[in-house]
Amino acid sequence: MRIPLIAGNWKMNTTVGEAVELVNEICQGLGGVVGVDKVVCPPFISLAAVKELLKESSVRLGAQNLYFEEKGAYTGEISPLMVADLCEFVIIGHSERRQYFDESGEIVNKKLRAVLKVGLKPILCIGEKLEENEVGRTEEVVTEQLRSSLDGIDCSGAMIIAYEPIWAIGTGKAATGRQANETIGLIRGKIAKLYSEEIAREVRILYGGSVTADNIAEFVEQFEIDGALVGGASLKAGQFISMVKQTQEIFYPTNPPTKDLVEW
Ligand code: 13P
């Protein structure tokens, strides 16, 4: 069984003080909620402070990006070794990075290689633009993104993929549960072809794009969807807590687990 995962991508929001306050509230609200992996991805500058607060918590830490070189004269960049020192997860290839920072499939591939080399768990983002969706090119686009991102990479069950249609990000216009399930099923099929049925069964695939406490259930009750990568709504502790709790109820309708299912 794939363990559900709810990840908060805080993007370029929160000062260190605000991040500390938000994570404290999240931890208080999620104390006893197990069986769902909970990940927060604050800005780099807050990672060390947030890590301290997560010591006794089941909430895990992720970064939003990194550079693929290990160290050296790359002013302003953060290396995989630095991220691995603090985090377990890292978001790679978010559409905002592809769009505003010209991240090509080749760069995403280099970053993924660097991430796996240091033992971080990648959350690889893929998704089509509105105009691509409208002309029925979704499958073609996500297939090409998978192919270029994963080229030459030994994918294991540790890989996490987030399907985030660009038209749904920050727009308040989420995909429907059915739409997201269909594309995620398709992505899982591609993973099976690229690797194996077994790996495709293990890889967690999340939906992202205008997910909130009001619509999370519609996504996590779908067969193929293993959780969500949440932007705006993850900046409100109450929303994040509610999304995790609803996911727990949907995944374990009768017997909620009494301890986390993953040994970290
Ligand atoms: P929103 O939840 O704000 O639409 O953002 C989604 C996203 O980009 C998460 O990575």
pLDDT tens for the chain, 264 residues: list them: 899 999 999 999 999 999 999 999 999 999 889 999 999 999 999 999 999 999 989 999 999 999 999 999 999 999 999 999 999 999 999 999 999 999 999 999 999 999 999 999 999 999 999 999 999 999 999 999 999 999 999 888 789 999 999 999 999 999 999 999 999 999 999 999 999 999 999 999 999 999 999 999 999 999 999 999 999 999 999 999 999 999 999 999 988 787 776 544
Ligand 1 lined by 210 (C-beta under 6 Å)? yes
Distance 175 CA to ligand 1 centre (A): 12
pTM over 0.85, yes/no:
yes
- Answer whether 224 contacts ligand 1 (Cβ < 6 A): no
Which pLDDT belongs to residue 263?
A: 44
pLDDT value at residue 236 = 98
The whole-number pLDDT of residue 261 equals: 63
What pLDDT is recorded for position 262?
56
Active site residues: 94, 164
The whole-angstrom separation of Cα 64 and Cα 211 is 18
Closest atom, ligand 1, to C-alpha of 168 = 4
Residue 127 in contact with ligand 1 by CB distance below 6 A: no
Ligand 1 centroid to residue 29 C-alpha, Å = 22
Rounded-to-integer distance, Cα 252 and Cα 191, Å: 26
Q: Is 9 in the pocket of ligand 1 (CB under 6 A)?
A: yes
| pLDDT for the residue numbered 36 | 96
**Cβ of residue 39 lying under 6 Å from some atom of ligand 1:** no
Q: Which atom of ligand 1 is closest in space to residue 170's alpha carbon?
A: 4
> Which residue puts its alpha carbon closest to atom 7 of ligand 1?
231
- Check if 93 has its Cβ closer than 6 Å to any atom of ligand 1: no
Q: Of the residues 96, 130, 160, 211, which should be mutated to test ligand 1's pocket, given the most ligand atoms within 8 Å of the CB? A: 211
